[in-house]
Each structure stands twice: as structure tokens, then as C-alpha cells.
Amino acid sequence: MWELICHHTYKWNGRPVDLSFYDNLADANAPFLADGIAPGSGALRFVQHGNRVRVASGPAWNPLVALRLEITARLTEPSQARQTLIEGDKSFGLFVSGQALFFYFYGKSIIPGGTSDSVNTYKDGLAFPGYRLPFGKWVTIAAVHTGFDEMRLYVDGEPVTFPRSALSAIGPVGPKGVTIGNGLDGGTIFGGDIDEAKVWRRDPNAWRATFLDRPQSPAEIECWERFFRALREALAAHPDCAKRLASGFSGALDDLRRAIAAKGPETRERFAKVCKEFADLWRSGRIDGPEMKTLLADWCAWLRLVGLPPESDPRFAALFGSSCWTEIVGCLPGLDCDPRLMALVRLAGTACGGKPARRTGGRRPATSA
């Protein structure tokens, strides 16, 4: 699920070297410490006005959706004011106030008027009083937002808050980029030392690895190569539709996940179990057998029971009924050359829609251009 998009270490004389694939451009204005959490590990000290690391915005930060932060830090300056560990422009932040930890984010909520949400050790702590960051001690602080249903804070690998529901996915970082050790405006300095900073996002290409994890024959592989080649050409020929369908599917899936999560712990547990069993059947190639049929039928029956009938989801209905869907699908070859996948589509249509599955491809006749 996770893709590392920024990994700062400061052992190279304080330079903000990014060890992630993205090699984000950054500059640092903070005193260098040769010894951080370990001898020779290197760290930066953020105690004076203007001390901070600035990371440029770029493709790594858009989209985010889900987010995982890990900051190895040592608090040395007490303050009741906000002390920023990391902040992303119009996107997210992790800070200390009165030694309590706070994580917040901005996004587009499915709840009208909801644009931000947060979790902190002051009100969401596992015990009373909630966790407070110690002075003079190195700790690794982590904030995790799953992208659709949960966020939580950890210290040294242990949870320090209850899991909180999240109103939405996390929005992309704005043009001002990201700052470490201080806020974007330079006025909320951390008041301590930072040894290392890591940021992950939801891997936008995870589906590729999952898709390729199914055993396929040479003929089926060739079939999908033709299909994806035609899909790339269709999306390139219709860029507005490509954007509309990409954002539409992403939004519809995220809304469905959050709606499932909102139905309570039993539904969340069932969803996790269904996802695992589906993945196991997919990886073993058993996608068109009785186990898959039973799994899909039981899950769709449960969705109807809790008031989320899959055959009448308005977002997906709007997408499948759109002119863009018709335009793109009309440019694609059929997938009859992958009979097991087509059998899975029919199973899903019968179990979850009560109707024959919609056509998944097939070029238009030349006369219909």
C-alpha cells in the first residue's frame, strides 16, 4: 500500500539528502549536530527563528490520499504554542503543543462543510492524561492516515491514541511545498532536534503489482498487452475523459470505502476479511470457481443488509452511464481472450448486480465513427 516519497537524513554535514526514489529538492537552515539518536547519525537543531528545512512541491506529493509520517526527534524547548515537526501546504501537519502531539489534514469530505480533521494525544489519548512528548529524549513519532477510514498516532512503534475515523482522504501538497522543523510561515519552530524524517503516501501503482500477481498463460498476457495498449491510446486521444474517469473512479472507490467503514467495526472486519480472501483467490488463479462465487455473493448480501446495495451505488451508476465511459470503452478490444477474467466479471454481475455484466470492451464498428 505504501510508497516512500521522502526520506531525509542529515548526517552529510546537515544537508537535507533525500534517500527516496523522488530525490526531492530541499534546502536547510539549521545548525548541524554530528551526533543524533546515535553517534555519527547527524541531526539538525531547530531553536532559532528561521531554522527549518524546506522541501519543494512536486509529483511525489500529488496525489497523497493516504499518509504515513515518521519523525525521529528530541524536544528541548518547552512551549504551549504550536511547535511544528512537519507541515505540507494546504495538506497536512504534525506538531507539538504543551508536549501533546497533534496531527491534522485537509481534504474534500463527503460530509458537507467538512474540510479538515485531526487526531491528538490531548483528547484521543489511550489513558488520562494523554501522552506527552518527553524533554531531552529521542523518540520516533508516527502519524498514520489510511486514506479513507482511520488515523492514529504512535511513538516508538506503540499507539498513543485511539484510532479516529477520518472525514476524507488527504489532499495534495500546495505550491509552497513542505517544511520540516518549522511551519511554512517560519513562526512555529519545533524547539528541538530532528535526526530523520520519512513520508509515505498510498502507492498509486499498487494495483499494477496486484494485477500482475495472478498466474496467466502467454495468450492471456498477450491479450492484456493489446488491451492496455488500446487503453493508453484511447485515454491519450480523449484527455478530458481520461481525467474525468480517473478522478471519478478514485472518488467513488474512496467514498464506498468510507461508507463501509462508517457502518461499524463488524462491517470493517468483514471488509478486511473479504479483501484478504479475494487476494488469496486472485493470486492462486482461482478467480472463476465456487469459492469466488460464494465470497462475492456473501459480501454483496452483507452490503445490502447494511444499506449499501452495490447495484444502486449512485457514483458508479453515473460513471458507467456517462458519455466518457461510452467513448473510452468503445475504443477498446474485448477481453474474451481471458476467459477466467470474463467469468469473474459475470460472477460479480450476478452476485452483486442481479443483472448480466456490462460489456468490458469491444471496438465500435467502423461505420459508427
Q: Which helix (H) or strand (E) holds 257?
A: helix 239-262
Residue-averaged pLDDT of the chain: 89
The pLDDT-based confidence of 365 (bands split at 50, 70, 90) is: very low
Q: Are residues 148 and 172 in the same domain?
A: yes
Residue type, 368: S
Q: Are residues 198 and 249 in the same domain?
A: no
The grid coordinates of residue 332 equal: 477498446
The pLDDT-based confidence of 94 (bands split at 50, 70, 90) is: very high
Q: Are residues 144 and 228 in the same domain?
A: no
Overall average pLDDT of the 7-14 stretch: 95
Q: Are residues 262 and 133 in the same domain?
A: no
Of the candidates 85, 96, 86, 146, which has an alpha carbon nearest to the alpha carbon of residue 120?
96
- 295-337 tens-digit pLDDT: 999 999 999 999 998 888 888 888 888 999 999 999 999 889 9
Q: Are residues 174 and 222 in the same domain?
A: no
- Residue ending a domain, choose from 145, 172, 202: 202
What distance in Å separates the CA atoms of residue 57 and residue 26, rounded to the nearest whole number? Answer: 10
The pLDDT-based confidence of 180 (bands split at 50, 70, 90) is: very high
Overall average pLDDT of the 175-195 stretch: 97
Of the candidates 149, 105, 99, 148, which has an alpha carbon nearest to the alpha carbon of residue 125?
99
Q: What is the pTM of this model?
A: 0.79
Q: Are residues 196 and 221 in the same domain?
A: no
Q: How many CA atoms lie within 13 A of 264 on its CB side?
A: 5
Q: How much is the pLDDT for 40?
A: 95
Overall average pLDDT of the 116-120 stretch: 88
Q: Are residues 185 and 238 in the same domain?
A: no
- Residue ending a domain, choose from 165, 182, 202: 202
Query: Are the C-beta atoms of residues 300 and 352 closer than 8 Å to each other?
Result: yes
Would the CA dihedral through 328, 331, 334, 337 be positive or negative?
negative
- Residue ending a domain, choose from 146, 171, 202: 202
The pLDDT-based confidence of 366 (bands split at 50, 70, 90) is: very low
What distance in Å separates the CA atoms of residue 155 and residue 141, rounded to the nearest whole number? Answer: 5
The pLDDT-based confidence of 225 (bands split at 50, 70, 90) is: very high
Q: Are residues 32 and 163 in the same domain?
A: yes
201: pLDDT strictly greater than 70: yes
What distance in Å separates the CA atoms of residue 181 and residue 85, rounded to the nearest whole number? Answer: 5
Query: Are the C-beta atoms of residues 309 and 215 closer than 8 Å to each other?
Result: no
Overall average pLDDT of the 1-29 stretch: 95
- Which of 29-43, 131-145, 156-170 shows the lowest per-residue confidence on average (mean pLDDT)? 156-170
Q: Are residues 197 and 212 in the same domain?
A: no
Query: Are the C-beta atoms of residues 132 and 99 closer than 8 Å to each other?
Result: yes
The pLDDT-based confidence of 86 (bands split at 50, 70, 90) is: very high
- Looking at the structure of the chain, the number of domains it has is 2
355: pLDDT strictly greater than 70: no
What distance in Å separates the CA atoms of residue 79 and residue 188, rounded to the nearest whole number? Answer: 10
Q: Are residues 24 and 121 in the same domain?
A: yes
Q: How much is the pLDDT for 109?
A: 56
292: pLDDT strictly greater than 60: yes
- Which of 26-30, 137-141, 161-165 shows the lowest per-residue confidence on average (mean pLDDT)? 161-165
- 232-284 tens-digit pLDDT: 999 999 999 998 898 888 778 877 887 887 788 888 889 889 989 999 999 99
- 58-74 tens-digit pLDDT: 999 998 989 999 999 99
Q: How many CA atoms lie within 13 A of 367 on its CB side?
A: 0
Q: What is the CATH number of the domain that holds 66?
A: 2.60.120.200
Q: Are residues 220 and 291 in the same domain?
A: yes
Of the candidates 62, 121, 68, 119, which has an alpha carbon nearest to the alpha carbon of residue 90?
62
Q: Are residues 191 and 340 in the same domain?
A: no
- 188 burial type by CB count under 10 A (0-12 exposed, 13-18 middle, 19+ buried): buried
* Residue range of the domain that includes 296: 207-368
- Which of 95-109, 219-233, 254-268 shows the lowest per-residue confidence on average (mean pLDDT)? 254-268
Place of cell 529538492: 25
369: pLDDT strictly greater than 60: no
